[in-house]
Amino acid sequence: MKLLRVIATLDPRHGGPAAGLRAITPELAALGHVSEFVCLDAPGQVREFPGAAAIHALGPARGGYAYARALEPWLRAHAGAYDAVFVHGLWQHHGRAVHRALRRRRPPYFVFPHGMLDPWFRRAYPLKHAKKWAYWQLCERHVLRDAAAVLFTCEEERRLARESFRPYACRERVVAYGTAAPPADAAAQVRAWREMQPALAARPFWLFLGRIHPKKGVDLLLRSYGELARIAGAELPALVIAGPCFDPIYLTNLRNLAAALPAPARVFWPGMLEGATKWGALRTAEAFVLPSHQENFGIAVVEALAAGTPVLISREVNIWREIESAGAGFADTDDAAGTRRLLARWHELPRAARGPMRSAAVELFTTRYEIGRAARSLVETITPFVRPVPTISLT
């Protein structure tokens, strides 16, 4: 099949959807499927990645709505050359453009909400929710209703999506999701990380890896870490907060909070990690920590599992049940008390009990979240909806 992915941005700094596409595209190519991309980044600002047959950058988009005047005409002119079109994310212009261009026309289109229908947003941002409610009535519900299918990455995401807006009507499907296994050269990855952060070469640490945003609970993590520092003594691991932040005021407040923590607390801020340094950090961390208030899937969580690192997460990460059931980590509430319990539970865990959790993390990744499985699941799910584009013989 020839697939077209439509997304506001392919910039990996913006989190999960772009990272997920970069992971699954080579696997789809290995299965014989061609993937092209339309994004609303400016031409020349998108990095190519393995498996992508073409990237059509039609931006720069305007505003938070990511409006791009060229998108809908492009889709009307070119979408017929594809077997299936995918909309990644909600609440922006590209979903409406796909709907307007393809409603009642081939090829079929599919929508990945990527957690954007989670009712947490209604509670956390009531004014934004009011705007989204109006947009839902005018546009977004029609985008989902007329899609061949709306694709959720876990059962919990599908369940929660039904709670946010009315009327709600669509053909729901749950597809496997995941990421690629880490590259094989573990020693080189560990070396790259330790060269970047020599102060952590011999000191254990806990790792937060992801976009630094209020919904991720980094403030809870820092405060809970500081409280544990008051009672844990010199054996307390360091804390690494790694990732991009697009709000300098928020980042400054977090850094000030970290600077005021009592000894022996020590917080490191290496920025966004990619490639060997990222995998080296994941491999050497004692534990991965994410006390998020809302997390549809958590690509970084699954990357930690792939590296054999147990995860300490909130129950707002939609795959927490699977992780706890597998013995690959702990989960608790997304508040101060829950985050304190997570850190204390791990810190007090005997070292002999941590090795089996590392093995369980790898086993869970291999059996449930390995990207090849996700690619096969996607193909199996969309195939019944797809009528292949006929090829024309010139002989």
Average confidence score pLDDT of the chain: 95
Query: Which residues fall within 8 angstroms of residue 270, CB to CB, at 6 or more apart?
Result: 196, 197, 240, 242, 277, 281
**Digit-coded pLDDT (tens) for 304-350:** 999 999 999 999 999 999 999 999 999 999 999 999 999 999 999 99
In the chain, the percentage of residues whose pLDDT exceeds 70 is 98
The answer, yes or no, to whether residue 393 has pLDDT greater than 70, is no
**CATH 3.40.50.2000 spans which residues of the chain?**
2-176+372-385, 186-369
pLDDT at 309: 99
Amino acid at 37: F
Cα separation, 177 vs 297, in Å, equals 8
Amino acid at 207: L
Q: Which CATH architecture has domain 186-369?
A: 3-Layer(aba) Sandwich (3.40)
Topology of domain 2-176+372-385, per CATH?
A: Rossmann fold (3.40.50)
330: burial class by Cβ within 10 Å (0-12, 13-18, 19+)?
buried
pLDDT at 391: 56
Print burial letters for 59-73: b (CB count within 10 Å at least 16), e (below 16): bebeeeebbbeebbe
Dihedral over alpha carbons 365, 371, 372, 376 (to 10 degrees): 110
The answer, yes or no, to whether residue 51 has pLDDT greater than 70, is yes
Find out whether 12 and 18 touch, Cβ atoms under 8 Å. Answer: yes
**Digit-coded pLDDT (tens) for 144-171:** 999 999 999 999 999 999 999 999 999 9
What DSSP string runs through 235-298?
Answer: GPPEEEEES--S-HHHHHHHHHHHHTPPTT--EE------HHHHHHHHHH-SEEEE--S-BSS-
pLDDT at 394: 47
Which contacts qualify for 42-48: CB closer than 8 Å, 24 or more apart? 45/11, 46/10, 46/11, 47/10
Q: How would you write 284-349 as a 3-class SS string?
A: HCCEEEECCCCECCCHHHHHHHHCCCCEEEECCECCHHHHHHHCCEEEECCCHHHHHHHHHHHHHC
**Digit-coded pLDDT (tens) for 262-283:** 988 899 999 999 999 999 999 9
pLDDT at 263: 85
Print burial letters for 156-179: b (CB count within 10 Å at least 16), e (below 16): bbbebbeebbeeeebebbebbbbb
pLDDT at 395: 45
Q: How confident is the model at residue 14 (pLDDT cuts 50, 70, 90)?
A: confident
Q: What is the token pair recorded at 56?
A: 């059509």
pLDDT at 392: 53
Q: How confident is the model at residue 104 (pLDDT cuts 50, 70, 90)?
A: confident
pLDDT at 390: 58
Q: What is the token pair recorded at 80?
A: 């017929």
